[in-house]
Amino acid sequence: MRVLIAALALSALTGCQLNSAKDAETEKKDTMSNTATTTAASPNTLTDAQKSEGWQLLFDGTTKNGWHVYNNKSDGAAWKVANGVLYLDTAQKKDWQVVGGGDIVTDEEFENYHFKVEWKVTPGGNSGIIFNIKEDPKYEHTWHTGPEMQVLDNAGHADSKINKHRAGDLYDLISASPETVKPAGEWNLAEIVSNKGTLEFYLNGTKVVSSTMWDDNWKKMIAASKFKQWPDFGTYKKGRIGLQDHGDHIEFRNIMIRKL
C-alpha cells in the first residue's frame, strides 16, 4: 500500500510539473505573439524602427495624396482607394488602358532610394512598377523614359511566355532569377534599390535582379530591346515612380521609400 501511495504521489507531482512546463511554454508563446502584434506595423503605417531608418510612406491608405496621373492625361478617377488599398477600377476600358486611368506617378522625384510596395493581381492580370520617370509632354508614356519591374500573373497572362516579360523581371531587359512570385490573388512584396547606378530588384524577400545602370552593358541591353526606339529610355538618374495602368485590375498597399 505504501508503495502504491508513493507511486501515486510521484505521478501527481510529475503531472503538475508537466502542466507547469506547458503553462510556461504557452505563456512564452503568448508573450511572443503579443510582442509580434505590437511591433508589427498595421497596413500603410511605419514601425518606430522604420521611422528611425528614414522610411517615409508614399500612400496613406485613405487618399491619393502625393500621386497624379502621368502628364495629367486623365482626372485619375479610375484609381481608387478602399480598405487601405490603392486599386485600378477597370469598369470602363478604352484600348489597353482604362477610362479615367493612365499610369499614376509620385508627385515627388527620387534619386538613390530603396522603394517598397506590396501588389496583388487578379487572374490574368498585368501591371508594372516604373521608376526614374521623366515627366514631360514630349514623352507620351512613362515607359518612354522609365525602366519597369514587371507585375504579372505568370500562370494566367500570355506575356509570361515571353522571355524577360515575367513577374519580377526588369522588363524586356533582364529575367528575374530565381522566380519567387506568388499566385494571383496573393500579396507580393516588391523592392527596388537604385543607388548611384547600382540596381537591385527583390521579390518576396529574395534578390531576383542585379544590374548596373548607365554603363556600356546597360546601353547594349537597351539597344537590343524594344526600348531602343526611345533614345532617352533608361537615361535619367532621377525621376518619378509610377504604377502602371495596363487595363487590368491591380491593387497596391504599403508603399514606402527610403532615400539613400
Q: Are residues 146 and 182 in the same domain?
A: yes
Query: pLDDT tens for residues 19-31?
Result: 444 444 444 333 3
Q: Which of 88, 224, 66, 246 is nearest to 167 (CA)?
A: 246
| Mean residue pLDDT across the chain | 89
Q: Are residues 4 and 78 in the same domain?
A: no
Q: Are residues 193 and 232 in the same domain?
A: yes
Q: Are residues 84 and 184 in the same domain?
A: yes
Domain housing 13: 1-40
CA–CA distance, 3 with 8 (Å, rounded to integer): 9
Q: Are residues 112 and 216 in the same domain?
A: yes
Q: Find the mean pLDDT for residues 68-85.
A: 97
Q: Are residues 60 and 76 in the same domain?
A: yes
Collapsing DSSP to helix, strand or coil, 158 comes out as helix
254: CATH: 2.60.120.560
Q: Are residues 32 and 151 in the same domain?
A: no
Query: pLDDT tens for residues 160-205?
Result: 999 999 999 999 999 999 999 999 999 999 999 999 999 999 999 9
User: Which grid coordinates belong to 139?
Assistant: 514623352
State the pLDDT at residue 181.
98
Q: Are residues 113 and 221 in the same domain?
A: yes
> pTM value?
0.84
The number of beta carbons lying within 10 Å of the beta carbon of residue 259 is 11
Q: Are residues 16 and 106 in the same domain?
A: no
Most distant CA pair in the chain, distance: 100
Q: Are residues 30 and 153 in the same domain?
A: no
Q: Which of 87, 90, 49 is nearest to 67 (CA)?
A: 87
Q: Are residues 35 and 53 in the same domain?
A: no
State the pLDDT at residue 94.
84
CA–CA distance, 127 with 129 (Å, rounded to integer): 7
State the pLDDT at residue 197.
98
Q: Are residues 67 and 144 in the same domain?
A: yes
The count of structural domains within the chain is 2
Q: Find the mean pLDDT for residues 45-65.
A: 98
State the pLDDT at residue 77.
97
CA–CA distance, 144 with 251 (Å, rounded to integer): 24
